[in-house]
């Protein structure tokens, strides 16, 4: 497979201009104080990846041109959320002090909140953060990460992931395949990064089938409807019961018929379903894995989301305490990067298994801190670059042309179509 998104992002004053204009800078830094220019190169990187996506999609479908930097702030543009400093934009993640450093602790799900007392080894209320910090004060970061993995909690130690040469890596080389102008993409992902990648490929002309559990659909459906629609419009929706042998057999037929599978679960989930990505790739189906920390080794058991994975990759505003960068920024950045690799796989003559972990993408994109004067201007903020005044833009999002389909909206047609498909 060709190297995709392999350029090393440049670090110049132009980065600060792009960051200020992206909408993501407005989400970075302390609440009610000047936003931070620290991770300015992120916007330049996102623009470069978006340009790469345009070139890759043009090889087999429609050339897709998106405002890469603006993608980093789309959810906040829809929901109206804003920066909160050492608490994430979404409010579920927070920096807490351990014995030997800072830890980003993310509790976005009810089960995460319920597991908090087990992590801190104390009966604490989920909103009593001073009590949480007192309980963690004598625990090391290594101990807390180990315990969090066992409990299925998402945590991130700032900069713990080493900067890689590329944001993705190939895990297995597969068999020959024939490119199509209307490739079939099966989207097994949920929340943000994976659905964004699938939506961008759908915009390029791929047929994308979104597969959800019948009793456990994509959790993002319970969030802002407009945001879910933005990431999932144009996809066919199939609901399966993963405890039903017939539905699991249907899943296998669908996957073996696909040109590309996008997946975001821990490895043990696919193992339980009897799905082997390498075997599928040997038969000509490429596999794109989007997890928090990767599919191999100890990382395969780790849970993670955009905020904590970004912190692990080094996307953080330094300080005491540190502060979060934009809104779960590893998610949109990884979705954009994954779309490039997906487009590359769809254009290729050989299938492959590729992983694009959120923390790895964040570490690849992280650069040295940027500095520039920032001051209030009217109702907003401005930054000075080369003697010029650049207004800090508000978050914005792409148009939403249509609502996403309901859960299982295309069950009958898809079940009929793939009932006789080769297994």
Q: What is the pLDDT of residue 2?
A: 52
152 and 187 together in one domain: no
- Please determine, for residue 9, whether its predicted confidence score (pLDDT) is greater than 60: no
216 and 101 together in one domain: no
Radius of gyration of the CA atoms of the chain, in A: 21
Q: Which of 118, 136, 156 is the last residue of a domain?
A: 156
In our burial notation (b when 16+ CB lie closer than 10 A, e otherwise), range 39-59 reads bbbbbbbbbbbbebbbebbee
At 282, which CATH number? 3.40.50.10540
In a domain, 8, yes or no: no
In a domain, 59, yes or no: yes
299 and 348 together in one domain: yes
Q: What is the Cα–Cα distance from 75 to 397, expressed in whole angstroms? A: 8
Q: Which of 123, 156, 189 is the last residue of a domain?
A: 156
Can you tell me which residue has the tokens 């060709």? 2
Backbone angles phi, psi at 182, to 5 degrees: -130, 70
Q: What is the residue-averaged pLDDT of the chain? A: 94
34 and 125 together in one domain: no
Q: What is the pLDDT of residue 12?
A: 80
271 and 375 together in one domain: yes
Token code pair at residue 80: 């109206």
Q: Which of 17, 73, 36 is nearest to 394 (CA)?
A: 73
At 127, which CATH number? 3.30.1540.10
67 and 192 together in one domain: yes
Q: What is the Cα–Cα distance from 105 to 87, expressed in whole angstroms? A: 10
In a domain, 162, yes or no: no
In a domain, 2, yes or no: no
Give DSSP secondary structure letters for 202-224.
HHTT-EEEEEEESSS--GGGGS-
Residues 359-368 have pLDDT tens digits of 999 999 998 8
Handedness of CA 29, 107, 363, 399 (dihedral sign): negative
Residues 105-162 have pLDDT tens digits of 999 999 999 999 999 998 998 889 999 999 999 999 999 999 999 999 999 999 999 9
Can you tell me which residue has the tokens 């040295």? 368
Token code pair at residue 171: 């895990």
Residues 248-294 have pLDDT tens digits of 999 999 999 999 999 999 888 999 999 999 999 999 999 999 999 99
75 and 101 together in one domain: no
Can you tell me which residue has the tokens 């989301």? 305
In a domain, 199, yes or no: yes
Q: Which domain holds residue 218?
A: 13-83+167-387+390-419
| Mean pLDDT (whole number) for 300-305 | 93
307 and 289 together in one domain: yes
Q: What is the Cα–Cα distance from 64 to 202, expressed in whole angstroms? A: 10
Q: What is the Cα–Cα distance from 92 to 386, expressed in whole angstroms? A: 37
| Mean pLDDT (whole number) for 205-222 | 96
Give DSSP secondary structure letters for 34-83.
PPP-TTTHHHHHHHHHHHHHHHHHTTTSPPP---HHHHTTHHHHHH----
CB atoms within 10 A of CB 150: 12
Backbone angles phi, psi at 49, to 5 degrees: -65, -40
- Of residues 421 and 313, more confidently modeled: 313
Q: Which of 273, 100, 112 is nearest to 188 (CA)?
A: 273
Overall domain count for the chain = 2
| Mean pLDDT (whole number) for 303-309 | 97
In a domain, 132, yes or no: yes
201 and 223 together in one domain: yes
Q: What is the pLDDT of residue 11?
A: 55
Q: What is the Cα–Cα distance from 408 to 215, expressed in whole angstroms? A: 11
110 and 76 together in one domain: no
Q: What is the pLDDT of residue 1?
A: 43
Tell me the three state secondary structure of residue 101.
Answer: strand
pTM: 0.96
- Please determine, for residue 423, whether its predicted confidence score (pLDDT) is greater than 60: no
Backbone angles phi, psi at 315, to 5 degrees: -85, 90
Q: How confident is the model at residue 8 (pLDDT cuts 50, 70, 90)?
A: very low
Q: Which of 124, 156, 188 is the last residue of a domain?
A: 156
177 and 319 together in one domain: yes
Q: What is the Cα–Cα distance from 21 to 69, expressed in whole angstroms? A: 8
- Please determine, for residue 23, whether its predicted confidence score (pLDDT) is greater than 50: yes
| Mean pLDDT (whole number) for 8-12 | 53
In a domain, 7, yes or no: no
125 and 271 together in one domain: no
In a domain, 34, yes or no: yes
Sheet holding 350-355, edge to edge: 169-176, 350-355, 286-289, 260-263, 184-187, 207-213, 236-240
Q: What is the pLDDT of residue 5?
A: 61
Residues 37-93 have pLDDT tens digits of 999 999 999 999 999 999 999 999 999 999 999 999 999 999 999 999 999 999 999
Q: How confident is the model at residue 201 (pLDDT cuts 50, 70, 90)?
A: very high
């Amino acid at each position: 497979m060709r190297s995709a998104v392999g350029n090393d992002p440049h670090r110049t004053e132009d980065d600060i201009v792009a960051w200020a204009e992206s909408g993501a800078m407005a989400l970075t830094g302390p609440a009610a104080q000047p936003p931070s220019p620290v991770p300015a190169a992120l916007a330049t990187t996102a623009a470069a990846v978006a340009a790469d996506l345009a070139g890759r999609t043009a090889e087999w479908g429609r050339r897709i041109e998106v405002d890469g930097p603006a993608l980093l702030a789309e959810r906040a543009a829809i929901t109206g959320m804003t920066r909160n400093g050492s608490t994430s934009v979404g409010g579920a993640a927070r920096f807490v002090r351990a014995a030997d450093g800072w830890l980003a602790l993310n509790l976005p799900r009810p089960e995460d909140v319920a597991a908090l007392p087990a992590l801190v080894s104390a009966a604490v209320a989920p909103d009593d953060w001073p009590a949480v910090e007192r309980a963690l004060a004598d625990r090391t970061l290594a101990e807390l990460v180990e315990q969090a993995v066992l409990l299925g909690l998402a945590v991130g130690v700032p900069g713990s992931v080493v900067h890689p040469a590329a944001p993705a890596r190939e895990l297995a080389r597969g068999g020959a395949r024939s490119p199509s102008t209307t490739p079939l993409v099966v989207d097994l992902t949920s929340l943000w990064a994976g659905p964004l990648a699938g939506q961008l490929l759908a915009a390029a002309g791929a047929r994308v089938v979104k597969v959800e559990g019948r009793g456990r659909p994509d959790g993002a459906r319970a969030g802002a409807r407009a945001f879910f629609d933005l990431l999932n419009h144009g996809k066919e929706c199939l609901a399966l019961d993963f405890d039903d042998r017939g539905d699991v057999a249907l899943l296998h037929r669908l996957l073996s018929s696909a040109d590309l599978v996008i997946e975001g679960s821990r490895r043990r989930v696919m193992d339980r379903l009897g799905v082997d990505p390498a075997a599928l790739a040997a038969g000509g189906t490429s596999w794109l894995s989007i997890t928090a920390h990767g599919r191999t080794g100890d990382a395969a058991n780790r849970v993670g989301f955009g905020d904590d994975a970004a912190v692990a990759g080094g996307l953080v505003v330094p300080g005491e305490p540190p502060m979060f960068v934009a809104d779960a920024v590893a998610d949109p950045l990884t979705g954009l990067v994954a779309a490039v690799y997906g487009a590359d796989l769809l254009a290729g003559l050989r299938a492959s298994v590729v992983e694009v972990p959120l923390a790895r993408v964040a570490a690849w994109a992280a650069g040295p801190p940027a500095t520039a004067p920032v001051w209030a201007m009217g109702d907003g903020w401005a930054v000075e670059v080369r003697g010029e005044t650049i207004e800090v833009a508000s978050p914005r999002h792409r148009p939403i042309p249509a609502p996403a389909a309901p859960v299982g909206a295309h069950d009958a047609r898809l079940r009929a179509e793939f009932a006789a498909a080769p297994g």
